[in-house]
């Protein structure tokens, strides 16, 4: 190995200049390969760090939504017309608002939401348009019924006939598109007033209602939608994972650099033993 000279100790005997030694040994970090590796590590660490903060933002949004939902669920029902009219959409601020309305069920245009599950059991949600005195209507998810996990439409209990007063939660349209939200042979895969609008002869209000009560009561009740889960979710631990990956990338870079420098200082022979002078 080449001797790097610096200050002298005993007369006539050179000593090692540690600063120059390290500078020469780690000079390989300026090669194209290692510069590219460094850029990759920086980008990877930055992306992982950003994803960690994204998960924290999602956690903050979820906690804010939990507060809004809790406030809505504790409030008394308000008239549907006061919070939703034609052209309005249900958003994060208004979702789960408790509302009441009076009208009649349009069983002719009733559909079932196939492949719906509850606690692992197959079934369907039953969605029936509810026509108001104004002539407009709102979709009402009347509840869930267990059924066979097939494409066949099951028989479901009928809603109360005549004028009915209902209460329920406002819900946003499902974000699905295409055939998933279009009624086909009395069935859909996702609830959306946008997809449903073309199949009924009246204007539909945006979103839909999760039914909570009916007066008069039906002969047979469906299973109501349970209250939404309001925990923190996995976002905080996902954030920690992303930040760990960022740290791992940086530490890995220095570990590989140190290993490379060690190999250059003391190359290994083909037989696996360190080369000696």
pLDDT > 60? residue 11: no
Q: What is the pLDDT of residue 240?
A: 96
DSSP summary character for residue 184? B
More confident residue, 208 or 33: 208
Nearest to residue 155, comparing CAs of 225, 105, 191, 107?
A: 107
Domain-located, residue 115: yes
**Which range, of 66-70, 124-128, 242-246, 267-271, averages the lowest pLDDT?**
267-271
**Which range, of 30-34, 64-68, 191-195, 269-273, averages the lowest pLDDT?**
269-273
DSSP H stretches of helix in 99-231: 193-196
Domain count, the chain: 1
Domain-located, residue 181: yes
Q: How far apart are CA 98 and CA 105, in angstroms?
A: 19
More confident residue, 245 or 31: 245
Q: What is the pLDDT of residue 262?
A: 80
Burial of 219 per CB tally in 10 Å (0-12, 13-18, 19+) = exposed
Q: What is the pLDDT of residue 44?
A: 96
Greatest CA span in the chain, whole angstroms?
113
pLDDT > 60? residue 130: yes
Nearest to residue 166, comparing CAs of 125, 222, 117, 121?
A: 222
Share of the chain above pLDDT 70, in %: 87
Domain-located, residue 271: no
Q: How far apart are CA 232 and CA 211, in angstroms?
A: 26
Domain-located, residue 122: yes
Q: How far apart are CA 128 and CA 110, in angstroms?
A: 4
Domain-located, residue 113: yes
> If you average pLDDT over residues 170-199, what whole number do you get?
93
pLDDT in tens, 212-263: 999 999 999 999 999 888 888 899 999 999 999 999 999 999 998 888 888 7
Domain-located, residue 273: no
Residue 234 in tokens = 């996995």
More confident residue, 251 or 152: 251
Q: How far apart are CA 258 and CA 253, in angstroms?
A: 9
Domain-located, residue 109: yes
> If you average pLDDT over residues 93-117, what whole number do you get?
94
Domain-located, residue 229: no
Q: What is the pLDDT of residue 80?
A: 95
Q: What is the pLDDT of residue 265?
A: 73
* CB-CB contact of 130 with 166 (8 Å): yes
Q: What is the pLDDT of residue 2?
A: 44
Q: What is the pLDDT of residue 28?
A: 80
Host domain of residue 125? 77-215
> If you average pLDDT over residues 47-61, what whole number do you get?
96
């Amino acid at each position: 190995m080449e001797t790097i000279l610096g200050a002298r100790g005993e007369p006539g005997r050179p000593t090692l200049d540690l600063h120059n030694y390290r500078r020469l040994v780690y000079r390989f970090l300026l090669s194209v390969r290692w510069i590219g590796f460094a850029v990759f590590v920086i980008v990877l660490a930055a992306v992982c760090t950003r994803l960690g903060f994204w998960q924290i933002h999602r956690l903050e949004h979820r906690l804010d939504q939990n507060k809004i939902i809790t406030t809505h669920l504790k409030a008394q029902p308000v008239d549907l017309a006061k919070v939703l009219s034609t052209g309005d959409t249900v958003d994060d601020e208004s979702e789960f608002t408790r509302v009441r309305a009076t009208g009649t069920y349009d069983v002719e245009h009733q559909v079932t939401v196939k492949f719906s599950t509850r606690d692992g059991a197959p079934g369907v949600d039953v969605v029936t348009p509810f026509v108001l005195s104004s002539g407009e209507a709102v979709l009402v998810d009347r509840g869930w019924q267990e059924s066979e996990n097939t494409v066949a439409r099951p028989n479901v209990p009928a809603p109360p006939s005549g004028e009915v007063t209902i209460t329920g939660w406002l819900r946003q349209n499902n974000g699905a598109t295409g055939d998933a939200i279009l009624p086909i042979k009395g069935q859909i895969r996702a609830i959306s007033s946008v997809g449903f609008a073309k199949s009924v002869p009246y204007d539909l209000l945006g979103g839909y209602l999760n039914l909570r009560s009916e007066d008069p009561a039906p002969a047979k009740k469906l299973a109501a939608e349970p209250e939404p889960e309001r925990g923190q979710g996995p976002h905080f631990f996902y954030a920690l994972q992303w930040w760990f990956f960022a740290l791992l990338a940086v530490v890995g870079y220095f570990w590989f650099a140190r290993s490379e420098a060690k190999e250059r200082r003391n190359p290994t022979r083909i037989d696996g033993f360190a080369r000696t002078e």
